[in-house]
Amino acid sequence: MKSKGILFLSNGHGEDAINCQILKALRASGADVDVSAMPIVGDGAAYRRSTVPIIGPTSQMPSGGVFYMNPLFFLKDIGAGLIALTWQQLQAVWRHSRHCDLVVATGDIVAAAIAHASNRPYIIFLSAHSSYYEGRVDLGLILWQLLCSDKCLAVFTRDALTAADLKRQGLKKAQFVGNPVMDNLNSTGKDLQLIPGVRTIALLPGSRLPEATNNLVLLLELVKEMASNSTVPVQFRAALVPALMPQLDDIATRSGWQQRSGKLIFPAIKPSFGEEKLVEVICWADAFADILQQSSLVIGMTGTAVEQAVGLGKPVIAVPGNGPAFTYRFAEAQNRLLGHSVQVIGTQLANSYIASLFES
């Protein structure tokens, strides 16, 4: 019997991770399938780590795929070759999907549109929409039509409220069966070099470059403020995407820190208690779940990873950044989605707000 072919589409780092969780479960089931992927945004590192063939070209765009938050970034994406890249990706999907039995899309209207353009049956995990945002989800005319298409076999939502809302609106194929982002958070037992008895704070600067780079610079400023004003000892661990690790030298130089084998070190801080000491932020690219599991508090400037932290019961501080993805607008919407587990600090940009966080 011929193997079934499944093409996975996604438009973001978090969406890549969700698809990889679905892939992992599919493989574990023993299903006889040939899988492939087309990450629309970013380099598809999660697929590569999962040894999934990528069928077309990938590239990091200035906006990280969220240019709708700021039209200026759309122009930057155009200048960086977005139109040519999208056309090449579409051609790759058209060529490859002829040999596929199903397309699995995770994301928003972009993933849905490309899945529909494949002219193959498709299902979608609607990761970018929730009724918690506005009370009644508004998908817009185009996305609604894509989901109502006969080629769309099922629509999976990120929460039960959204599935019920869409069914009330007439989309009977909408259903909630769980959120895959919570399925990859088992600790690996990695030694995080933690000091026993000291509270651990996780830093999540995000996954989209170059925004994640700028976010980490801002978070390091916050770390200095916390280290100098905290009345109890704390330690910091940063969960980074692999592409951010080679930039640690430049980040340290920009921030006035030093970088030693993944450790960002600030020479001397005089805290409100005790003696002057070094401040360390130890960075990992392969210990996300371990860091979340071990943390007492999470400071995040990202989307999916903050949802995962809240799912583990961790309190989260969200710091609005310069974007294009994690701005106050995004953080405030995330707060509505996740409730009191997330505290957004201020409506200003992080770099103009951090200095006042600990003023009394």
Q: Map tokens 């995770």 to a residue.
A: 106
| More confident site: 25 or 64 | 25
Angle between helix axes 328-338 and 304-311 (nearest 10 degrees) is 30
Most confident of 41-45, 118-122, 298-302: 118-122
Q: Is the bond preceding 324 in cis, omega lying within 30 degrees of 0?
A: yes
Query: How high is the pLDDT of residue 269?
Result: 64
At residue 144 the predicted structure's pLDDT band, cuts being 50, 70 and 90, is very high
**Burial bucket for residue 304 (CB in 10 Å: 0-12, 13-18, 19+):** buried
pTM of the model: 0.76
Question: Is residue 348's pLDDT more than 60?
Answer: no
Q: Could you report the per-residue pLDDT of 268-327, keeping only the tens digit for each?
A: 666 555 566 778 999 999 899 999 999 999 999 988 889 899 889 999 998 888 877 777
In contact, 122 and 152? CB cutoff 8 Å:
yes
Query: How high is the pLDDT of residue 238?
Result: 97
**Phi/psi at 318 (nearest 5 deg)?**
-105, 130
Q: Is the bond preceding 180 in cis, omega lying within 30 degrees of 0?
A: no
**Nearest in space to 125 (alpha carbons), one of 149, 170, 155, 164:** 155
Question: Is residue 177's pLDDT more than 60?
Answer: yes
**Burial bucket for residue 267 (CB in 10 Å: 0-12, 13-18, 19+):** exposed
Average pLDDT over residues 197-221: 91
Mean pLDDT rounded to a whole number for the chain:
86
The Cα-based distances of 276 to 48, 193, 264, 272, 355 in angstroms read: 44, 21, 17, 10, 20
The angle formed by the CA atoms of residues 79, 84 and 86, to the nearest 5 degrees, is 105
In contact, 189 and 44? CB cutoff 8 Å:
no
Most confident of 146-150, 323-327, 334-338: 146-150
| More confident site: 15 or 332 | 15
Query: How high is the pLDDT of residue 205?
Result: 94
Half-sphere exposure of 122 (CA within 13 A, CB side): 29
In contact, 152 and 123? CB cutoff 8 Å:
yes
In angstroms, how far is CA 322 from the centroid of its own chain? 16
